[in-house]
């Protein structure tokens, strides 16, 4: 059974990926410092898997801590989620994002090379495309100037990983893939794990579910004067379980002898949904009324962003299976059953 290190494995996407790794026959080992996650998510993972997950609390910037973990296991692969991820926060404090997101990646890559790790899957983002010239966005679409520090750190992270993996000295050691996520939403169908933002949510769906649960007074739509059919931004919403499965497909692909040194893949549904469409769909499937109002545009938001996903379907043999309705149903089920 191959050991896989999952940095940020107690987070939203990380926890779901841990489940899928275990169910695919891998042995996931979680590293997390809970800076943007909750330790009680580990209880949900345990209930789903029927056993306690392997977990170590610590920071990717702590070389002594990393050395300890790598002395206990030989890792065939690493899936690197650990990073700060708020667009709005990164606009307010860009230096924090550059220091944390890039330094943590460098520390993990350094020990990966030292310990002969074969495969590295990097958590990237569609924000690397900036404001796209056209949609849908394919992997050959130009990477434009990022609209926030978060997106800029993902661009830099991709460049670092590509350089490390394709440098001749490292070609026999490490291969890498960057997965460019669009908008992860939903929760595990069991209702035992899901998105658990600390403080005020920065993403649409948890704000929707918290408003429906009366935790929030109302939902604010940031602008309704965009050049879209209903005036609100268009996004590609991908169910978190589909996204988690994409990581297993990427990892399995990298561990093959004929895998390239480095590649990038869009991970999305390939469909555009507006903010208002999400709200109306949620109200329809849950029969819960959502109070909302229109606010000013939010800095850093692009008009339209959705994926061309045929490359992942062809090369990784991966395809999204869940619909927006499925994702909203699961997110609401999680919100109603959050055990704390």
Q: Determine the 3-state secondary structure of 57 from DSSP.
A: strand
User: In which residue are the tokens 């008009």 written?
Assistant: 303
**How far is 28 from 268, CA to CA, in rounded Å?**
24
- Closest C-alpha to 278, from 335, 324, 329: 324
213, 335 contact by CB (below 8 A):
yes
Selecting among 150, 181, 226, 262, the annotated active-site residue is: 150
Residue 58, classed as helix, strand or coil, is coil
**Full DSSP string of 130-152:** -S-SSSSB-TTS--PPPSSHHHH
**Taking Cα atoms as reference points, which of 179, 41, 64 lies closest to residue 120?**
179
125/106 Cα distance (integer angstroms): 18
Provide the CB-side half-sphere exposure for 201 (13 A, CA).
20
Nearest to 311 by CA among 301, 319, 302: 319
182: nearest Cα among 235, 250, 222: 235
- The distance of Cα 179 from the centroid of its chain, to the nearest Å, equals 9
150 in catalytic set: yes
Closest CA to 331 of 198, 203, 191: 191
Give me the sign of the Cα torsion angle 87, 184, 52, 178.
negative
Task: Kindly list the distances between the CA atom of residue 261 and the CA atoms of 4, 116, 161, 172, 248, in Å, as whole numbers in the listed order.
Answer: 19, 14, 10, 9, 17
Catalytic residue numbers read 150
């Amino acid at each position: 059974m191959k050991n896989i290190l999952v940095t940020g494995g107690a987070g939203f996407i990380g926890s779901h990926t841990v489940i899928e790794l275990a169910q695919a026959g891998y042995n996931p080992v979680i590293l997390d410092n809970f800076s943007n996650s909750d330790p009680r998510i580990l209880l949900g993972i345990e209930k789903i898997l029927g056993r306690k997950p392997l977990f170590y609390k610590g920071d990717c910037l702590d070389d002594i801590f990393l050395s300890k973990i790598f002395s206990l296991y030989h890792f065939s692969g690493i899936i690197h989620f650990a990073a700060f991820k708020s667009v709005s926060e990164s606009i307010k404090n860009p230096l924090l994002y550059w220091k944390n997101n890039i330094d943590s990646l460098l520390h993990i890559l350094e020990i990966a090379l030292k310990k002969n790790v074969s495969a590295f899957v990097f958590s990237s983002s569609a924000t690397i495309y900036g404001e796209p010239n056209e949609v849908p966005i394919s992997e050959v679409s130009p990477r434009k100037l990022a609209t926030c520090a978060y997106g800029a750190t993902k661009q830099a992270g991709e460049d670092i990983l590509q350089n490390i993996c394709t440098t001749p000295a490292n070609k026999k050691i490490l291969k890498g893939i960057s997965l460019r996520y669009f908008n992860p939403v939903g929760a595990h169908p069991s209702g035992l794990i899901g998105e658990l933002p600390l403080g005020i949510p920065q993403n649409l769906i948890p704000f929707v579910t918290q408003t429906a649960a009366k935790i929030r007074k109302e939902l604010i739509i940031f602008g309704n004067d965009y050049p879209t059919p209903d005036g609100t931004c268009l996004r590609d919403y991908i169910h978190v379980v589909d996204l988690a499965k994409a990581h297993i497909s990427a990892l399995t692909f990298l561990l093959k002898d004929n895998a390239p040194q480095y590649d990038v893949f869009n991970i999305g549904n390939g469909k555009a949904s507006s903010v208002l469409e999400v709200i109306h769909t949620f109200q329809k499937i849950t029969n819960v009324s959502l109070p909302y109002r229109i606010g000013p545009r939010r800095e850093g938001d692009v008009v339209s962003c959705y994926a061309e996903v045929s490359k992942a379907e062809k090369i990784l043999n991966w395809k999204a299976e869940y619909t927006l309705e499925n994702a909203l149903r699961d997110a609401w089920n999680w919100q109603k059953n959050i055990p704390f």
